[in-house]
C-alpha cells in the first residue's frame, strides 16, 4: 500500500494573535498533524510557547499535536506537555543528558517518542535508542526560526536516515523539518521522509488548502 506522507504545518509561522483559529483553519485545509514548536531561548535563540498554549491549540482541533521541544533538559517538562495534550513529544539528542531514559519516560506518559537531530549532529546519536523511538526528526535548518533556507546537503542525511530506519524491525516515522515548501517537498520525500513539517511554506501562502493539495500531488507515490 502506498504510504501517504504526513503533512504537519508548524505553528511558528501561524498568526499568533489568532492561533487557535489559524490552527483550526489549517486542520480544516487538510493538515494531518499540527507541529508545535517549543523554544526556551537557551537551546535555541528564540522563545515561543508552553503547555498552556498547547492545551488551547489542542482544544481547537482533533488532529494530533506533534510537539517539538527545542529546550534544554526537556525531561523536566514532558509530563506537562503530555498532560496538555501532546500526541508526539520530540526532544533534541543534544539537549538531554540521558536520552534513553527521556524517551522511555515519554512512552510511559502515553505519547509517541521522537528524537530530533540538528544539522551538525550525526545519525549515530540515535543508534542505541532506535527501539525506544517512534519518530526521527531531521532538522534541515538550524533551529530557532521559521522561514529559513533549506540546507540542501541535509538531503543525503535524510536518505541515510531512511536506510537506518529501514534496517530496524520497528515503525519509526522519518520527519523532516525546516525550509520545506512546494519547491522541495518532492525531493524530501524521494529521499525517504514519511512526514514533513512546513511552517512558512503553508502559513505564508494565500490558500492553505491549495498549498496542501499541491504538496500531496507532488509527493503521492504511484
Catalytic residues: 37, 177
User: Which residues, listed in sequence order, are joined to residue 90 by a DSSP beta bridge?
Assistant: 68, 114
Per rule CB under 5 A, is residue 92 in the interface with Zn ion? no
Per rule CB under 5 A, is residue 132 in the interface with Zn ion? no
Shorter beta-carbon distance to Zn ion: residue 75 or 177? 177
In angstroms, the first-to-last Cα distance of the chain is: 10
Q: Of 140, 177, 188, 215, which lies in the binding site for Zn ion, with binding defined by CB under 5 A?
A: 177
Residue 104 partner contact from Zn ion, ligand DX5, none using kind-dependent CB cut-offs of 5 to 8 Å: none
Shorter beta-carbon distance to Zn ion: residue 90 or 211? 90
Per rule CB under 5 A, is residue 134 in the interface with Zn ion? no
Residue 176 partner contact from ligand DX5, Zn ion, none using kind-dependent CB cut-offs of 5 to 8 Å: none
Shorter beta-carbon distance to ligand DX5: residue 104 or 148? 148
C-alpha cell at 151: 540546507
- Cα–Cα distances (Å) from 133 to 89, 145, 158, 172, 195, in that order, read 10, 25, 17, 7, 15
96 within 8 A of 75, measured Cβ to Cβ:
yes
Instruction: Round to whole Å and give the CA distance between 158 and 137.
Output: 9
- Residue 151: exposed, middle, or buried by beta-carbon count in 10 A (0-12, 13-18, 19+)? middle
Which residues sit at the interface with ligand DX5, rule CB under 6 A? 10, 12-13, 35, 37, 68, 70, 141, 143-144, 146-148, 177-180, 197-201
Residue 199 partner contact from ligand DX5, Zn ion, none using kind-dependent CB cut-offs of 5 to 8 Å: ligand DX5
If binding means CB under 5 A, how many residues of this protein chain bind Zn ion?
3
CA-CA-CA-CA dihedral for 95, 74, 134, 143, to nearest 10: -50
Amino acid at each position: 500500500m502506498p504510504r501517504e506522507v504526513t503533512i504537519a504545518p508548524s505553528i511558528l509561522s501561524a498568526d499568533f494573535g489568532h492561533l487557535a483559529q489559524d490552527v483550526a483553519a489549517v486542520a480544516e485545509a487538510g493538515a494531518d498533524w499540527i507541529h508545535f514548536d517549543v523554544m526556551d531561548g537557551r537551546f535555541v535563540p528564540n522563545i515561543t510557547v508552553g503547555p498552556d498554549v498547547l492545551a488551547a491549540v489542542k482544544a481547537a482541533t482533533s488532529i494530533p499535536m506533534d510537539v517539538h521541544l527545542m529546550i534544554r533538559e526537556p525531561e523536566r517538562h514532558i509530563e506537562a506537555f503530555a498532560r496538555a495534550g501532546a500526541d508526539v513529544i520530540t526532544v533534541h539528542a543534544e539537549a538531554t543528558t540521558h536520552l534513553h531514559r527521556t524517551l522511555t519516560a515519554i512512552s510511559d506518559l502515553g505519547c509517541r517518542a521522537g528524537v530530533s537531530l540538528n544539522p551538525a549532529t550525526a545519525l549515530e546519536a540515535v543508534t542505541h535508542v532506535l527501539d525506544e523511538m517512534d519518530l526521527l526528526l531531521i532538522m534541515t535548518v538550524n533551529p530557532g526560526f521559521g522561514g529559513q533556507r533549506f540546507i540542501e546537503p541535509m538531503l543525503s542525511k535524510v536518505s541515510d536516515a531512511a536506510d537506518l530506519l529501514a534496517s530496524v524491525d520497528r515503525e519509526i516515522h522519518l520527519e523532516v523539518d525546516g525550509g520545506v515548501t512546494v519547491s522541495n517537498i518532492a525531493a524530501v520525500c524521494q529521499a525517504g521522509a514519511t512526514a514533513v513539517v512546513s511552517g512558512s511554506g503553508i502559513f505564508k501562502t494565500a490558500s492553505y488548502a491549495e498549498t496542501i493539495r499541491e504538496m500531496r500531488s507532488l509527493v503521492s507515490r504511484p
